[in-house]
Amino acid sequence: MSNLSDLYQEVILDHNRRPRNFRVLDAATHQAQGYNPLCGDRFELYLTIDGGVITDVGFQGSGCAISKASASMMTDCLKGCPVADACALFERFHSMVTTPPDIAVEDLGKLSSLAGVREFPVRVKCASLAWHTFKAALNQSQRATTESAG
């Protein structure tokens, strides 16, 4: 994996073309806005949490293929997931995209299609934006930004 085109694997292109859960949740219990100033990616994330389980997830907004595909895949993974498991997945995803390229990382299924961003520090922000927005929504903060996050 050594050039940028390798980043745009088929699974990423597919999620970018047909983002899953791309809608506003009227009954959302948690929401947050995420913004990545380096790239201009901007998304609103909606969660419905009931009894400690994420029963529904939706997102809206626009950004580059990496950020949009990452948000789409994340919503797929989080739907039906206990909040504690979702937080653990956040940690695993974060370490996958921030581990140096020459070190092996855990296989996270379709999320692993984003592992290539490890070689492109600017793209790490794009791939992790949705996840930081998810954490912000859990904390009910108004806004997430990747400016200070890794």
Residue ranges that bind Zn ion, judged by CB under 5 A: 39, 41, 64, 67, 126
Nearer to Zn ion, 97 or 126 (CB): 126
Nearer to Zn ion, 40 or 80 (CB): 40
Q: How far is the CB of 40 from Zn ion (least distance, A)?
A: 7
> What is the C-alpha radius of gyration for the chain, rounded to an integer number of angstroms?
14
30-36/41-50 β-pairing: antiparallel
DSSP per position, 50-64: ETTEEEEEEEEEE--
Q: How far is the CB of 50 from Zn ion (least distance, A)?
A: 32
Q: How far is the CB of 85 from Zn ion (least distance, A)?
A: 27
| 90 close to 134: Cβ distance less than 8 angstroms | yes
Q: How far is the CB of 41 from Zn ion (least distance, A)?
A: 4
Residue in this structure with the two tokens 């930004």, named with its chain if needed: 145
Helix (H) or strand (E) holding 102: none
